Amino acid sequence: MEWRDEGIILGTRRHGETSVIAEIFTREHGRHMGLVRGGRSRRLQPVLQPGNSLSVVWRARLDEHLGTWAIEPLDARAASLLEARHRLYAFQTLACHLRLFPERDPHPDIHRQIGRFLESLAGGPEEVAALLARLELTLLADLGHGLDLSECAGGGPSDDLAFVSPKSGRAVSRQAGAPYSERMLPLPAFLLGRSMFSGDDIVDAARLTGHFLNRDLYAPRGLSMAPERDRLFALISRVGN
């Protein structure tokens, strides 16, 4: 068997003396593993850094086999991720989220959105963190746990949504949610595309998406989110003070 695709390196692990097993999120074949022979060589090590985009060929005798990768670099962005903590934290968080997707399950739309997200990492900490929060909403929806932010669950106006129920994941208007505000999760307007964002908005967005990511995806699998996620949003808190 053989197929060609494009993908983003999520990580590698050593295999034998000279090779690595590379985990790549591909456009048409999803999150996929494969062996890179000689992957620890001076020529291939820089190519196989997390965050880089590659042109790949996967070959195996049978579909269920691990298979091997033949790789060519497309976008060597790994070095730029190391230049700023917020970029590195954002990518490490994203890579952790992508490991929630079943192996070999294609998600071409998610791959495209990830590509756009990675192109936007040149921004500052607040911009990158805001983009990550928006992307987390998309990942929740694609994994079957999307939030309903289209209308007020309590019958209030849909143009003044301000909260999300931590139980149902449905939006609630400011008026309808006011009596229960202490039990609600704040819904920053920028997640609805209705305003710009502040540092406090980004922290609220992180709390919102983090609640549902943990409750619906990580905890049921006995997993924890990447600690880099907390580090990224802690940077935003310090910037705002």
Closest CA to 51 of 143, 2, 114, 126: 114
Successive 10-residue mean pLDDT values, the chain, 241 residues = 97 96 98 97 96 97 95 95 95 98 96 95 93 97 96 92 97 94 94 84 96 98 97 79 45
pLDDT at 135: 97
Which one, of 91, 64, 213, 211, lies nearest residue 140 by Cα? 213
* pLDDT for residue 26: 98
Q: What is the dihedral of CA 28, 29, 30, 34, to 10 degrees?
A: -140
Segments of the chain assigned to CATH 2.40.50.140: 2-77
What's the pLDDT at 194?
A: 75
Dist CA 2 CA 27 (whole Å): 15
Query: Which pLDDT value is given to residue 196?
Result: 80
Task: Give me the CATH topology for the region 2-77.
Answer: OB fold (Dihydrolipoamide Acetyltransferase, E2P) (2.40.50)
> In residues, how long is the chain?
241
Q: Per residue, what are the HEC states of 116-160?
A: HHHHCCCCCHHHHHHHHHHHHHHHHHHCCCCCECCCCCCCCCHHH
For residue 193, the model assigns a pLDDT of 86
CA distance 236 to 202: 8
Rounded-to-integer distance, Cα 18 and Cα 42, Å: 11
| Predicted local distance difference test score (pLDDT) of residue 241 | 45
